Structures are given as structure tokens and as C-alpha cells.
Amino acid sequence: MSTDFNTEEKPDFSSQTIGETKTPATKPKHRVKNISDDGHGRIKTNKKQKIDQQITAIYEDANGKIPDMKQIEIKKTHPFIRNLTIFVLTAATMAVIAWVGFFVLPTNNKFSEIKLVLKIEGPSEITVGATTTYSISFANEQDIRLKNAVLTITYPEGFVFIESSKPANNAGHTEWMLDDLLPNSEGQMTITGKTFGTLNQEYSWSTFLTYQPVNFNSEMQKIATLKIKISESPFSIALTGPDKTTVGENAEYLFTVKNSSDWWPESLELIPSLPINFYPASSSPALNKDKKWIIKTIKNSSSTLVAQTEYKFKLIGKFSDFGGTVTENLVALSAELYIPGAEKKFAVANGEIKSELIKNNYNFSLAINGSMTDLNSQPGDTLNITIYLKNDGQETIKKGVLKLILDSPSLNRRTALDWTNVNDPLDGLITGEQINNNIRRGTIKWTEKDLSTLSSIKPGQEIGIDLQLPIRDSKVFDLAELVEYQVKTLAEINFLDSAGKTKSLSANPINITLNSDFKFESRDSQTVKNGIEKRDITWVLTNTFHPLKNIELSAELFGDINFYSASPTPAGILNYDQDTKKIIWTIAEMPLNLDILALPFTITINTKNPSQSALISKIHIRAEDSITGKTFDFMSDETPLEYNPVVQQ
């Protein structure tokens, strides 16, 4: 028997649906199709036929049918999006692996910030001025070296360093070079000092440990803080005075400062806080010009501070009624005790007392330039003074003697007030008295000879006195040499009551602060050439009393113009914006040796607008008196478009 190997064998498909072909019962686990003899009695399976069957099984649907391959669409993904997706997924996977390796998987060669310990320990509640010690400890609890370790401390405000167990590496005693922190090592240091601060206020210690793990390329930092509170003070203030006091009558108050410890600072400041309608007449010891008492301890030959156990201060003054606005009420006087520091002072004690203020039967007041309280003035000004008295009681007062007292700055026994030109219609008696080298007192006294109603002021009756007193200016007085700059005014009346007893009343005192005699002037000149009008403007500043600072002049130019200025600017800085036509002249300081400053500039007018009236707007002028702190802020007049030779002030 021969076999034709060139004869093509065709697959024998069943007429049944592929999924429903029955398998022989003898071998249910095997499905055999198209078996042929290999010529030696052995059965041979057609491999190509078997592969075709497997491929068919892959593509057939649930019903055993083959889909039309020509209808299948293959969608291609853009290569950039595919590559980007792969990159993102890869990076995320690597990050997760790194995080797990760094923080989760146990290893002795990885740095852990948690295993670096930094602590600061010490008392959290402190007595003012007490000596305290604080401990700063650090530990490297891991098997990795931390190199270049530096410990830095920010002290609480008011802490005064005394010593540390390890010498600091800077003059401020705030930095220590620790070098390397070895694996599983620890260290500690202590700092001792005195703590000052305001009573019941919280402060904070801050400690910073900067280091670099040996397997890192950047520095890291550990921070520890400790809050402290000034809870106690050895100092106390006790105030004593009248439970009740009457308007216009003297009231005496005593301030007592005590210290329960052996420690004293080199100085203390006691600052009274007075009601607005209380006017001190005298104090012992005298209040300084800043209205406070200075307590200075004394050093003996061994440089030890020596101080009393307590200090007493007396203050005598009167309450006013501000023209009858005060009725029975409680008024409070208080004081605070401060320890002055390098940058600020700390309040370490306070005290308060309240008195009942009783209105009297008289309405007695003083007003200057329309004000019943403190005011500002300048050399060359005139003080318009009004004294008013009304008897609101039920009894007649007799033999009244009225006084106006003015303590003013003086030089060579000459006062800054021009008493020779006082305008007093009643022609009261004027006397002068030199209080000290810098203060001269002037007093005007009126009696019943000058004003008949003072002999007997009946219930409901009132009297008034008006006068004018000029302040000298630099033309007749060397203002620059004056040390003081305040004029203190007070009105008093003495009289007999119905029982024949002498009584004294004071009106509300008024303090007048003499500020710089700062003045501004604008000078204007005109020339016309070839039909072009040119205006030469000069802004002039003058000052002879107190230096000035933070000076600024600003204005806006109008119309079709060109602006020209000198270069360099004679004084200060000049800025001109061509778009907005705004000019700003600023001067940082004007010392007394410069009594005049000028800014010249030129404006050419190309065309004139018939509806335009001003060439330069009102000039805004600002400056600050360096001595009194008074701020000048005013406006000058406009510069008209049509030339006006009158000088503008």
C-alpha cells in the first residue's frame, strides 16, 4: 500500500454547531478528530488542523459563530501619551518603594528625625529679677553620625545672661559649636541668668539645633521651645489719699514703693497716671520733665548696690470741673513701676486709688485761643486768654483777688512772652520772677480796685476777663538758644466766704507747647520772550526754632506747560512725573544751622486754556518738629495762571 504525500488533507468539519459536538463515550475526557494512519499502524494527529481549531475557539462568540474580521477596528494609542503614562507609573512605583525603604523597612543606616531629641527644661513661673538656670539636652539615638552640629538660643525678652556650663562661641552668648553628634550619644549644657519682664506676661525660650546627617547633602534643624511667665514681683506700690476731694481745692496723694527682696536694679521709674482734670501743683521729690520719678540705687566702695527698703513720693494738685461738666463721681489715680531695659522697659508693679470728686459752688475756668486744654503754638503767635468765674452757690463771696500765672521759657532773664505788648483792658498789676535759669514767671493780679465786682460776687453773678499776650519771634529773641519750650498757665482766686475764712480756688491749668516757627513762601516772577511766557517759581522754607524732619511738599501743575528744574537739586530730592504733572519735594532734615531752604524751578506756558485759572494747585506741606514731635500739615494758596506779583504765603 502506498501513500500519496502530495495529496492535501482537508479538515473534516461536523455539520453540528461546534460547541455541541458529541464526544465518544469510552473516552469522555478526550476529543479526537481527523485521525489517520501513518502507514505503520500508528495513529497520527494533523497538527495544522489542531491549531486551526484552537484559533477558531479563541475568536468564536458565545453562540459558536466566527465574527467578520473585516469589521473589527483597531484603535492605536498615541506614543507620547503611552510613554508618559509608563513614566508616571514607574516614578510613582519608585517613590513608594523609596518611602517604604526609608521609613518602614528596618535599617540601621537610615537617618530618623524622630530619634534626635532636643529639650529645654527649667522653671516656667518666675519672680521678676530672680536668678534661674535652664538645662538644654540633646541626644542622637541612632546609628548614624550627625556632623556640623550648632546649638542656637533665642532668649526671652528681658533675660540677662550670667553664665553657661559650656562657653559660647559668640559675644551675645547665643551660639555653641557642638561639632559632630556621634551615633547613640547625648549631651547637656546649662544657662544661668536673671529674668526681667512685665508682671503676668508670658515669654518664650527657643532652642535651635542645626546639623547635617552624614549621608545627607543639606542641613536640617530641630527646634525646642519653653514658655515662661512672670508670675511674681518683689516690688509693690501703695497709694494713699483723700476719700473725698472738692473741685478746685488741694488734694494730696502719697506713692510708696516697697521691695520685699534683697535685690535691686540700678534704677527704677515710677510713672503716675493722672485723671485728665487733675493738675499737679507740686511734687516731692520733683517730677522730671517726662512726668516721672527716677529711683536710683547707690553703689558703695565695693560696687555693691545699696538701697532703701521703701521710697515715698508726694503729689499735690487740684481737680477742675471743666466749666461745670463734672458732678459727684469717682476719680482714679494710678502708678506703674518700671525696670528700664536696653530696648524697652518692664512694668513690675502697679497701684491705684480712687477718690470721690465733689463739685464746688463755683464755676471757675481758663481758656486760651478757645481751648480749655493743652494746645500748640508758635513764636510770633498771640495768646488770647479768657478767665471766667460764676458764683453757683448760695452765699456771697467777698474781697476777691484774681491771678493769672504764666511760667515760660527764658534766656538771660528775658521771657519768651512779650509782656511789654500785653493788651489788658483792666490794667492789672504785672510782676516777674526768675524761677530758674530756663524758666521765668509772669503774674497779673486783679483786685477790687481793677474790677469792682471782685469786692462782692453775689449768688448767680459772673465775671470775665479777656486779654492778649504775644509770643516773641526770632526777630527780637534768639529762639534757638531756648532750652525749654512749654508755657504753663494757671488762674487762681482767693476770697472770703460768709464765715470770713480765706478760700482759694484754681481753674484748669493749660500747657502751651511752643513748636518750630516753620514757614512757607512761594515766590513767582514772569518773563515773556518770542511769545513764550516763562514763570520762575521758588519755594522757600524758613525755620529758626527747633530742627525739622520728614519734610514733604507736593503739588500738581496744570495746562500745556514744560517743567524745568536745577540739577542737582539744592536741597532734598525733587521728583516730577511728566504724565501726571505732579511735583514732590522731600527733605529728610532741616537742622537749625540751616534757617532757609529753597527750591527753584521754571515753567514755560505753551498755550493757555481760557477755562484754566491755576498754574499750580494748592501746595500740601508736611513736616515734623524734631523736639516736640508736633506734625505740621497745611495747604498753601494756588499759583494763578495769570501772573500775580503778590508773594504767596
Question: Same domain for 269 and 186?
Answer: no
Highest-pLDDT range among 288-302, 337-351, 398-412 = 398-412
pLDDT (average), residues 81-99: 70
Question: Same domain for 502 and 377?
Answer: yes
Neighbours of 172 (CB within 10 A): 9
User: In the chain, what percentage of residues exceed pLDDT 70?
Assistant: 81
CB 166 within 8 A of CB 189: yes
Residue 602 confidence (pLDDT) above 60: yes
Question: Same domain for 466 and 366?
Answer: yes
Task: Kindly report which listed range (84-98, 243-257, 549-563, 624-638) carries the lowest average pLDDT score.
Answer: 84-98
For the chain, what is the mean pLDDT? 84
Question: Same domain for 536 and 608?
Answer: yes
Neighbours of 175 (CB within 10 A): 15
Provide the pLDDT for residue 26: 45
Provide the pLDDT for residue 71: 55
Residue 413 confidence (pLDDT) above 60: yes
- CATH (domain of 148): 2.60.40.10
Q: 456771697: which residue's cell?
A: 396
Residue 647 confidence (pLDDT) above 70: no
Chain segment 627-638, per-residue pLDDT in tens? 999 999 999 999
pLDDT (average), residues 157-170: 93
**Would the pTM of this model clear 0.85, i.e. be above it?**
no
- CATH (domain of 440): 2.60.40.1530
Neighbours of 236 (CB within 10 A): 16
pLDDT (average), residues 586-596: 94
Question: Same domain for 222 and 243?
Answer: no
Provide the pLDDT for residue 20: 41
pLDDT (average), residues 315-327: 68
CB 352 within 8 A of CB 239: yes
CB 409 within 8 A of CB 482: yes
Between CA 486 and CA 467 the distance in angstroms is 20
Residue 4, domain member (yes or no): no
CB 145 within 8 A of CB 111: no
Provide the pLDDT for residue 360: 80
Better pLDDT: 491 or 81 = 491
User: Which pLDDT band, with edges at 50, 70 and 90, does 14 fall under?
Assistant: very low
Residue 3, domain member (yes or no): no
Question: Same domain for 84 and 127?
Answer: no
Provide the pLDDT for residue 33: 43
Between CA 333 and CA 271 the distance in angstroms is 11
Question: Same domain for 548 and 457?
Answer: no
Question: Same domain for 435 and 509?
Answer: yes
CB 469 within 8 A of CB 368: no
Residue 649, domain member (yes or no): no
Domain membership of residue 310 as a residue range: 235-358
Neighbours of 317 (CB within 10 A): 20
Strands (E), 92-219: 116-121, 125-127, 131-140, 146-154, 159-164, 175-181, 185-195, 202-213
Question: Same domain for 98 and 161?
Answer: no
User: Which pLDDT band, with edges at 50, 70 and 90, does 307 fall under?
Assistant: low
Residue 3 confidence (pLDDT) above 90: no
pLDDT (average), residues 275-288: 89
Better pLDDT: 90 or 233 = 233
Provide the pLDDT for residue 214: 87
Residue 163 confidence (pLDDT) above 90: yes
Provide the pLDDT for residue 110: 78
Provide the pLDDT for residue 98: 58
User: Which pLDDT band, with edges at 50, 70 and 90, does 279 fall under?
Assistant: confident
Q: Would you report the helix, strand and coil content of the chain in percent, each value rounded to 5?
A: 10, 50, 40
Assigned C-alpha cell, 76: 492605536
Highest-pLDDT range among 38-42, 369-373, 600-604 = 600-604
CB 211 within 8 A of CB 140: no
Question: Same domain for 397 and 298?
Answer: no
Question: Same domain for 193 and 252?
Answer: no
How many independent structural domains does the chain possess? 6
